[in-house]
Amino acid sequence: MGFSKEYREKVEEALSKVVEIRTRPMFGGVGIYAGDLFFALIAEDRLYFKTGDLNREDFEKEGMEPFFPYDSPTPMGYHELPHRLLSRPKALAPWVEKALAVAESKRKPKRR
């Protein structure tokens, strides 16, 4: 994995128009959070959103591919976001909302 500084800045700017985010480098890419929800990642200058039953079909209808980490034959629960959405905050918002809902639904309960 990897990413360019320019692409990371572009993603941060676009997502910040929709939701307050924080990012952090991880495993050669970038993890993207809203609050404590990890809902997106950057790898190889591509943006991937968390997917599940709520939104996977949206990505598949667009022909977007799942994320395969480190040449793994098994995809993770993320799909690449259609590129055109980064420059369209109103169109991007529902995709962010669904990715956050998926991340929330997959949240593990806190240990006591």
pLDDT at 28: 81
pLDDT at 2: 67
pLDDT at 39: 97
Q: What is the mean pLDDT of each run of 10 residues along the chain (112 residues)?
A: 85 96 90 96 94 96 89 86 95 98 86 68
* Residue carrying structure tokens 């993770």: 76
R_g over Cα of the chain: 13
User: Helices 5-16 and 89-105, interaxial angle, to 10°?
Assistant: 90
pLDDT at 27: 82
Residue 97 phi, psi (nearest 5): -60, -45
Question: Which CATH class for the 5-105 domain?
Answer: alpha beta
Structural contact between residues 17 and 89, judged by C-beta atoms closer than 8 angstroms = yes
Sequence spans of domains, the chain:
5-105
pTM for this entry = 0.90
